[in-house]
Structure 1
Amino acid sequence: MSLIKKISLHFFCITICLISFNTFSQKTTLKGTVYDELGNTIPYAAVGIPKKQKGTATNDDGVFSLELSAEDLQDSLQVSSIGFKTYKIKVQNYLDKKIKKIVLIENVVTLATITLEKPKSYVKKALKKLKKNTLSTKHQSNLLYRRSSVENGKTRFMVEHFLNVLDYGPSDTRFDEIGIAESRKSADYRFAFKKQPVHAVHIMGQINPLRQRIYESDYNWERIDDTSYDGEDVLVLRGIKKNQKRNKQKNWIKFYVGMDTYKIYKIDVSRYASAKAGLKATYIYKKNRDNKLVLSYHNREARFITPISEQKRKLLKLKNKNIVSSYRHEAIVLDIENNKKKINIKNTVYDKKDIGDYNVKYNPEFWKNISLPPATKFYKRSVKELESIYGVSLEEQFKAVNK
């Protein structure tokens, strides 16, 4: 073979390799909205490719955004939500659709004629099978965590952390380790400055009924609804805490339990210390490629009474000695790594201090390039209120405050 032919062949091979590399490294962002048959959007639906552990959840407007690679285009996209039949479509076929709209069909469940176990029995078995039904081996959850500090009805400070969380699943009482990989804060316009004693993600774990090691016998259980998830009939079971003082607000938890597998797909929590102070929280789990449940989304709002000094009351023209404040929290799990060799916790947190008091170097390029989920109503509201206080965009606040 002549030298010219060898050189030509060499460059041809390099070109083919580069084309192949670019094809498979190219990213594609799937966007769309999930609706029911009546045209209502469906919040917190699981969207993804379970066998590859790639997925996300719709926001509270039913909108999703999912970044995939070219090698995922022939895989099946799966959309699941409690109360609806699971929807499947090839990724490439979805991309070819002109209207990026997914409609889920309601899965009508009628269990009235079926002899069921007592509600307490389902809860007992669900808790007993918790370790079997959830991802309970060592893994890393990479999640976006947001907390807004609300004082006197308005957001006055917000912090966002991209966290690496080392975990063994909800059958364990706590997270093993957390790292703040990236961070950014808004300008701070608080006047009450209430602090939490640990990072807020630890509290997310501490108040999860599955991690509290609750006893089903401490609650009076009742079946309040029937629904479905991914082809399985699901019972909605509410437990009201026993021996509560007589008041209008009751402390309760609600489990969405699969009839066949006893998997807990969703949890709602409601606690009240008084008419003005209390907590409401939601945990949503989805299946991974091994059919184990992993946390997908969490939100909560904790309301409390905060005393204000006389000096601040005069300065802010407030009439009451106390104001109603709250923390609005949101955690969105972006991906999970269960390959022990790839687990990497960055900037491990050992201090016990408020989420807003951690100082991590601000990396604007990270926040610019990361594929974030669509903004939720929670986030939009916080942004709007923060921008109205300062008269400048949140992005400009990030640049000015974070160093």
Structure 2
Amino acid sequence: MKTKKSFFRAINFKQILFFIFLLVSVSTSFAQKKIEIKGVVIDEFENPIPYAAVGIPSKQIGTSTNDDGVFSFQIAPENLADILEISTIGFKTYKIKFQEYLDKKIEKIILIEDVVTLAAITLEKIDDIVKKALKKVKKNTLSDKHQLNMVYRRSSVENNQTRFMVEHYLNVLDYGPSDNRFDEIGLAEVRKSADYRFAFKKQPVHAIHIMGQINPLRQRIYESDYNWVRDGDTSYDGEDVIIVKGTKKDQKVNKENNWIKFYVGMDTYSIYKIDVSRHANEFSNLKAFYIYKKDSNGKLVLSYHNREAKFRTPVSAQKQKLLKLKSRNVQSSYRHEAIVLSIETDKKKFDVKNTIYDRKDIGDYEAKYNAIFWQNIALPPETKFYKKSVKELESIYGVSLEEQFKLVNKE
């Protein structure tokens, strides 16, 4: 039988264990608490700098500025000793320690324009520059298997007003643009707005597949199929960059509106940015761009993509009368936006959920709505693209987008 003394010792021992457990739990929670890093990136004339790469390249941590130059992301306390780097085409790379950035309470970061004159490049044929750049795509980009964690958005626009928007959080296994398709796509989270469309045009596959298909680097294009000209000079992260513009040869329709641009580094022949403008016929046209940023080894990886495809969608005679249209075709468009939030290169940490196999429109995928996930995920500041879509959706019946998410999506 236990004595009173041993009984209290047992209680004290249990209390000590509980206290230690509580202390460790609090300490762990504190250690895991993230620190928000935010600011705005501007030039010397206080113009915002959009789509600049912001973060710690050596640790695959970071984000991009939106079209207003604003950025925000989170770091762990142990990253305070690391260096914040901001790089973009046409400006000198900015570097500062995170702790110093916070101590100085910096709100605006001014990037200095990197003025270059590449007169010597005229000695090398533009076609040869493009040929070398395309040949070195696999060498210059992250071509080992990696996971892109991204937010993909598509807005359906009819008569110049957004009438439906879908937002997916995707885990994408990829070998980079040297491969013509993504290896595997996981649909982790979904949320949709109310559907106010009166014309229902479907895409035959998930929109991210189309993002890959129209990327010139994934299409195995040949420089000999285009007429190339020099379109300007700039820089990226200390490297001189030449802008080259290619127009498809023997193009019968809207030749001047069917072109691609590459921003090519002259030391490495890396392609840092791609602009695409295609006007295939009188019923549709497309504008898109891709931005790549350097990883810890100087390899390029996708950072941001934006495109808008415009077309005409046929409607019934009844809808034509209701909408007071002059013809049976409604002016429509899809606005797309893909934002890479993080990159994982450790294969042991790959985590692809709900792999997509179906060949159906992005708006037709269903998944349980996780409101807590969308509230807690560290999304970058809203772009003009997103704000415009939200404003137009909310104006239809005066219902906030957040309320639409709650009403439409199954929790």
| TM range, smaller chain | over 0.9
Q: CA offsets per residue over residues 61-89 of structure 1, 9 Å max, x none?
A: 10001111101111000000100000001
In structure 2, what residue type is equivalent to 1:230?
D
Give, in whole Å, the separation in 2 of the partners of 1:114 and 1:210: 23
Aligned to 2:51: 44
Stretch of structure 1 that moved more, 242-251 or 265-274: 242-251
Change in 2 beyond 3 A, CA 1:113/1:176: closer
Identical columns (%): 71
The match for 1:129 is 136
Aligned to 1:317: 324
Q: Distance in 2 between matches of 1:252 and 1:114?
A: 22
User: Aligned residue for 1:156?
Assistant: 163
Greater CA deviation, 187-196 or 93-102?
Answer: 93-102
Of 150, 164, 167 in structure 2, the residue corresponding to residue 143 of structure 1 is 150
Q: Report if aligned partners of 2:171, 2:353 keep a CA contact under 8 Å in 1.
A: yes
Distance 2:283 2:363 in 1: 24
Structure 2 residue runs of 5 or longer lacking an equivalent are 1-8
Change (3 A) 1:5 1:89: farther
CA distance in 1 between partners of 2:343 and 2:141 (Å):
13
Question: Compared with structure 1, are the counterparts of its residues 181 and 5 closer, same or farther at alpha carbon in structure 2 (3 Å cutoff)?
Answer: closer
Residue 9 of structure 1 and its aligned partner are, at CA, apart by 8.9
Corresponding residue for 1:402?
A: 409
1:384 to 385, 391, 404: 391
In 2 relative to 1, CA 7–35 (structure 1 residues): closer, same or farther, beyond 3 Å? Answer: same
8 Å contact kept, 1:269–1:282? yes
Letter matched to residue 233 of structure 2: D
Judging changes above 3 Å, is the alpha-carbon distance between structure 1 residues 115 and 189 closer, same or farther for their aligned structure 2 residues?
closer
| 303-312 vs 280-289, greater mean Cα deviation | 303-312
Equivalent of residue 374 in structure 1, options 365, 381, 389:
381
Match of 2:33 in 1: 26
Distance 2:13 2:314 in 1: 82
List per-residue Cα deviations over 1:156-182 (Å, max 9, x = no partner).
000000001111110000011111100
1:244–1:250 Cα contact (<8 Å) kept: no
Please point out which of 301, 304, 319 is paired with 1:297. Answer: 304
**Correspondence 1:337 to 2:334:** no
Partner of 2:245: 238
Worse-superposed segment, 207-216 or 273-282: 273-282
Give the secondary-structure state (helix, strand or coil) at the position aligned to 1:73: helix
Judging changes above 3 Å, is the alpha-carbon distance between structure 1 residues 307 and 3 closer, same or farther for their aligned structure 2 residues?
closer
Contact 2:253/2:281 (8 A) holds in 1 = no
Query: How large is the RMSD of aligned CA atoms in angstroms?
Result: 2.1
The Cα shift of 1:320 comes to 2.0
1:197 matched residue in structure 2 = 204
Q: CA deviation at 1:59?
A: 0.5
State the 1:284 CA deviation. Answer: 0.1
Of 171, 174, 186, the residue aligned with 1:167 is 174
Over 3 Å counting, the alpha-carbon distance change for 1:18 and 1:361 in structure 2 is: closer
Instruction: Give the letter for the 1:91 counterpart.
Output: F
Q: Residues of 2 paired with 1:243 and 1:338: CA distance? A: 42
String of CA shifts for 1:175-211, please: whole Å, max 9, x gaps: 1111110000000011110000000000000000000
Name which of 326, 333, 339 aligns with 2:333: 326
What is the letter of the counterpart of residue 212 of structure 2? G
Amino acid at match of 2:66: N
CA displacement at 1:319 relative to structure 2 = 2.1
Give the 3 Å change call, closer, same or farther, for CA 114–176 of structure 1 in structure 2: closer
* Structure 1 residue 224, shift from structure 2 partner: 1.0
Q: State the match for 1:104 in structure 2.
A: 111
Which structure has the larger Rg? 2
Would the alpha carbon gap of residues 86 and 61 (structure 1) be closer, same or farther in structure 2, given more than 3 Å must change? same
Match of residue 354 from structure 1: 361
The structural deviation recorded for 1:317 is 2.1
Q: 2:67: which partner in 1?
A: 60
Instruction: Give the whole-Å Cα distance in 1 for the aligned partners of 2:321 and 2:19.
Output: 77
Over 3 Å counting, the alpha-carbon distance change for 1:361 and 1:84 in structure 2 is same
Q: Match of 1:56, SS?
A: strand
Q: Which runs of 5+ in 1 are unaligned?
A: none
Structure-2 separation of matches of 1:273 and 1:293: 30
TM-score, L = length of structure 2: 0.93
Going from structure 1 to structure 2, the CA distance change for 1:114 and 1:220 (only over 3 Å counts) comes to: closer
- 2:271 is aligned with 1:264: yes
Query: Is the contact between residue 249 and residue 275 of structure 1 (CA under 8 Å) also seen in structure 2?
Result: no
Contact 1:94 1:100 survives alignment (8 Å): no
Partner of 2:185: 178
Give the aligned length: 402
Counterpart amino acid of residue 389 in structure 2: S
How far off its partner does 1:306 sit? 1.4
Pick from 199, 208, 213: which aligns with 2:215?
208
